[in-house]
Amino acid sequence: MISRINSVGISCITVFCESLGLYTCVIQNISFISKIMTTRILPLELLDKAIGSKIWILMRSQTEIVGTLRGFDDYVNLVLDNAVEFSPDPRNGEILKNELESEILLNGNHVAVLIPGGAGPDDSLASKTA
């Protein structure tokens, strides 16, 4: 017995094997399935695509860092250059802006959120340079 099933753009032929008493499905539209699978992206792949571009990082503390991503490892330790750190002043809550001169290495354990292409907090919020 052979029957055709069409659902969600996938064409499938269902074949019943009498000797085994099993149904099997042969998918005809593999290109549709491959299109679905290529839309998935893994977190490290996203970071890999962001190398050389600006990235906005929210740390587990209240600190935020914006810089150019130069590299990373499997533990999401990050290497940045042209980095600017934004942190709250503990005395009055104003945002302090600190421009970092050299490359920096961020420990991945302290990273909460990564925003590739993010410009960071509004510079008007940064009241003074630390």
Higher pLDDT, 123 or 89: 89
Per the prediction, the chain carries an average pLDDT of 79
Q: What's the pLDDT band for 7 if we cut at 50, 70, 90?
A: very low
Tell me the average pLDDT across 79-99. Answer: 93
Q: For residue 100, which phi and psi values (nearest 5 degrees)?
A: -95, 130
Residues 33 and 48 in one domain: no
Q: What number is the average pLDDT over the span 10-33?
A: 53
Q: Is residue 34 located within the same domain as residue 47?
A: no
Q: Who wins on pLDDT, 97 or 28?
A: 97
Q: Do 108 and 91 fall into the same domain?
A: yes
DSSP 14-81: EEEETTTTEEEEEES-HHHHHHHHHT---HHHHHHHHTTSEEEEEESSS-EEEEEEEEE-TT--EEEE
Q: Say if residue 82 is in the same domain as residue 96.
A: yes
| pLDDT, position 66 | 96
**Overall average pLDDT of the 37-57 stretch:** 88
